[in-house]
Amino acid sequence: MFIPQKTRVLKAPSSLLQKDTIRFWILPLLIFFQFTQTYSHDPYSGRKTKKPPYYFFKAKDPALEINDILEKDSLFKPSKLFKIDDLDAHYWIKIDFINELDTLETKGEWKLMTINISNATIYYSIDNKIQQKPYGQRWIEPEKATSIWYYQGFNFKKSNLINNRYLYLKVRYIGGDNMAPGIGYLSIPASSLYTKYYAQYDLDWITYDHIYIGACLIIFVTFLLIYLSTRRHEFLFYSLYVIFSLIYLTDINLGPNLFHSVYFSPLGLWTTISSQIFINLFYILFAKYYLDTKKNYPKLDAIIFYLKYLLILMIVIDLYAFFSEHYNMKRFCLSFQRLVMIAFGLFSMIYLLFKSKDKLAIFLVVGSFIFMTGALGFLFTRDRHYMMIGSILEIIIFFLGLAYKIKLEYETRLTLQQEVSSKEISALRAQMNPHFIFNSLSSIQNLILKNDRVSALKYLSQFGKLVRNVLESSNQAIVTLTEEIALLKSYLELESLRFDNAFKYTIDVDENLDADSLEIPLMLIQPFVENAIIHGLVGKKEGEKKLSLSFKKDGQFAVFEIEDNGIGRIASGAFGDPSKKQRKSRGMEITEKRLKMLNKSNTNPNIVEIVDKYDPYGNSTGTKVIIRIFNP
């Protein structure tokens, strides 16, 4: 449905504002003048527009010329019967000044001003010869001093009247909005009250339009940038939906001084009139990705699939009809897609009310209902501000719906990350336990075979204690540092027995660190301790083997250090299977991922640092692992 320009020209408010200091795009300035009520005196009689009667004739033959029309005077009908029912016809309008001749004598020149006429030819007389020129908003380039919507019209004299009585217009309609033209004339000085001054009525109209334009542009740019960042289609189609809503509801009121050549170009006119099809297309595509209909509402998704291609077909047909000037075909396309979308809108709202799986559908239903209410308000009152209010409320609700969806997805992703972390811990434990249990049982078997009962019982006792502690903590993803240290002690005792007390270890806890309240992921440190023993200390052939664990507070960080004096990472990589050289421990990889997931601050991330130690001669003296956890 093409939204016509609201009838404004024939209304004559008496209070006017100078335009020289106001430009339509400076919205704050307009609002300032709106509320301060700063008025100038009315230097003229106001916008008093005289309305001569006019008559019309619908000609289906586009080849008819003015001379043919002059011979068909009896075919003209009064203006009260005017109706646009055939867009392929030309409408001839005859303006009768027979009762205005005395008035026309009082001034040398007058201004003809019209509304709802954008593409026409005007016929007038010069020296008793009929002349013609393009007329209407499409052809009259606004002068620099004009307002943002009132055009200069057509200057004429009494001597320009055909047969000393008439002016003729040949009008071609495109939109078929069934709005009869408004025709009036006034003096040149009085016409300046339209083009050089703003009335309070004008400011009211401008303010609403520009608030809507500003809101739409902000939302359009915001969500277009979000799309460019995330590549998520719902944000793209939402931003396109908003920008075409803006074009559809504001059209010419965007300002002829800036957009005249674009708006009234063939492509500009087609885009504006047909923007309602694009609105519907981007609306259903937004709904598809917003609700994830393919997954959640397959029946609705199937309808959207076919409806999408139907609307694309309507766009192609509409484009052909416009540029081939088959305007009846164009009007049929617009009316047909409008009926289809009304039916789809009602069905989808009812369907989602009964089948909705979450609150996302409620946002869509409420927003669509409000927009339809505004559209009905426009239909019955012809005041497009009802539709504009409905549109902006719908846009805000969809905005909130997208924000709510982002929140849901963030919470889902966070829960999934926690589950993945828990599974990785379980996997690490499952991976460690068979290997560790096999080694432990082999060690116990070896002690029994050696008849070393004391060592075997001690080993078995430590092994049982460790297994019991691990099982007790198996359902916990987070434990206190004290509990983690207890597990480490049991593990180190067992490993010490396993390797015949081949290494010594120390555990140092800083008194400034509250180990009972500090919570960390279960088995966070054990993989690094195991790595230090297996790949650092066990391979050392000479000298004392030491492993030290320290836990301390450093500002807003808790710092854990695992330090050994073993052979170092490079030397340990030189032994064993060559395919395992430089391969990072699976447990260490998981630990680093878990630390990243636990980050509480982007500026103070949790980190793991591995330091290779060397003596002054470049010989390896072991490895130090430093774990820093942000704990303000």
Residue 304 identity (one-letter amino acid): I
Between 465 and 126, the more confident residue is: 126
Binned at pLDDT 50, 70 and 90, residue 572 comes out as: confident
> Using an 8 Å Cβ cutoff, are 212 and 197 in contact?
no
- Tell me the pLDDT tens digit for each residue of 341-359: 989 989 998 999 888 888 8
CA distance 302 to 491: 59
Q: Is the per-residue pLDDT at 78 higher than 50?
A: yes
Between 554 and 475, the more confident residue is: 554
pLDDT on residue 105: 92
CA distance 44 to 29: 25
Please list the residues that pair with 509 across neighbouring strands.
551
Tokens matching residue 25: 């795009």
Closest CA to 484 of 562, 418, 593, 586: 562
Which is it for strands 478-480 and 504-509: parallel, antiparallel or unpaired?
unpaired
Residue 540 CA neighbour count, 13 Å, CB half: 24
Torsion from C-alpha of 137, 139, 143, 146, nearest 10 degrees? 0
CA distance 232 to 270: 29
> Using an 8 Å Cβ cutoff, are 308 and 284 in contact?
yes
Q: Which spans in 506-623 are helix H?
A: 526-532, 568-573, 586-597
Closest CA to 562 of 465, 467, 488, 617: 488
CA distance 594 to 289: 32
What's the mean pLDDT in 65-76?
Answer: 90
Q: Is the per-residue pLDDT at 8 higher than 50?
A: no
Residue 606 CA neighbour count, 13 Å, CB half: 20
CA distance 558 to 173: 77
> Using an 8 Å Cβ cutoff, are 572 and 583 in contact?
no
Q: Is the per-residue pLDDT at 579 higher than 90?
A: no
> Using an 8 Å Cβ cutoff, are 251 and 276 in contact?
no
DSSP 5: P
Binned at pLDDT 50, 70 and 90, residue 582 comes out as: very low
Helix axes of 360-381 and 384-449: crossing angle, nearest 10 degrees: 170
> Using an 8 Å Cβ cutoff, are 57 and 68 in contact?
no
> What structural domains does the chain harbor?
16-198 (2.60.40.2380), 202-410 (1.20.1070), 452-630 (3.30.565.10)
pLDDT on residue 563: 94
Q: Is the per-residue pLDDT at 71 higher than 70?
A: yes
> Using an 8 Å Cβ cutoff, are 508 and 488 in contact?
no
CA-CA-CA-CA torsion sign (195, 201, 204, 209): negative
Q: Which spans in 450-536 are helix H?
A: 453-472, 481-498, 526-532
CA distance 244 to 115: 24
Between 278 and 423, the more confident residue is: 278
pLDDT on residue 577: 44
Question: Among 86-100, 218-232, 409-423, which stretch is predicted with the lowest mean pLDDT?
Answer: 409-423
- Residues contacting residue 282 through CB under 8 Å, at least 6 positions apart: 237, 238, 240, 241, 244
CB atoms within 10 A of CB 346: 13
Question: Would you put residue 622 in left (φ > 0), alpha (ψ -120 to 50) or beta?
Answer: left
Q: Where are the beta strands (DSSP E) in 492-577?
A: 504-509, 519-521, 546-554, 557-564
**Maximum CA pair distance of the chain?**
136
Residue 141 identity (one-letter amino acid): E
End-to-end CA distance of the chain: 60
Closest CA to 450 of 462, 459, 438: 459
Residue 301 identity (one-letter amino acid): D
What's the mean pLDDT in 159-177?
Answer: 87
CA distance 87 to 176: 7
Question: Among 21-35, 327-341, 384-398, which stretch is predicted with the lowest mean pLDDT?
Answer: 21-35
| Cα-based angle 352, 354, 359 (whole degrees, multiple of 5) | 55
Binned at pLDDT 50, 70 and 90, residue 26 comes out as: very low
3-state helix, strand, coil in the chain (%, to 5): 55, 15, 30
CB atoms within 10 A of CB 82: 17
> Using an 8 Å Cβ cutoff, are 439 and 431 in contact?
no
Binned at pLDDT 50, 70 and 90, residue 549 comes out as: very high
Task: Give percent above pLDDT 90 in the chain.
Answer: 29
Between 113 and 384, the more confident residue is: 113
Q: For the chain, how many helices (H) and strands (E)?
A: 18, 18
Q: Is the per-residue pLDDT at 479 higher than 70?
A: yes
pLDDT on residue 151: 59
Q: Is 20 helix (H, G, I), strand (E, B) or coil?
A: coil
> Using an 8 Å Cβ cutoff, are 473 and 483 in contact?
yes
CA distance 321 to 331: 9
Task: Give percent above pLDDT 70 in the chain.
Answer: 78
Tokens matching residue 297: 């509402």
pLDDT on residue 156: 95
Tokens matching residue 177: 């909005």
User: What average pLDDT does the structure give for the chain?
Assistant: 80
Between 387 and 138, the more confident residue is: 387
pTM of the model: 0.64
- Tell me the pLDDT tens digit for each residue of 208-266: 788 888 888 998 999 899 899 888 999 999 999 999 988 888 764 554 445 666 777 78
CA distance 611 to 70: 101
| Cα-based angle 360, 364, 366 (whole degrees, multiple of 5) | 115
- Tell me the pLDDT tens digit for each residue of 187-216: 888 887 777 776 777 777 777 788 888 888
> Using an 8 Å Cβ cutoff, are 76 and 54 in contact?
no
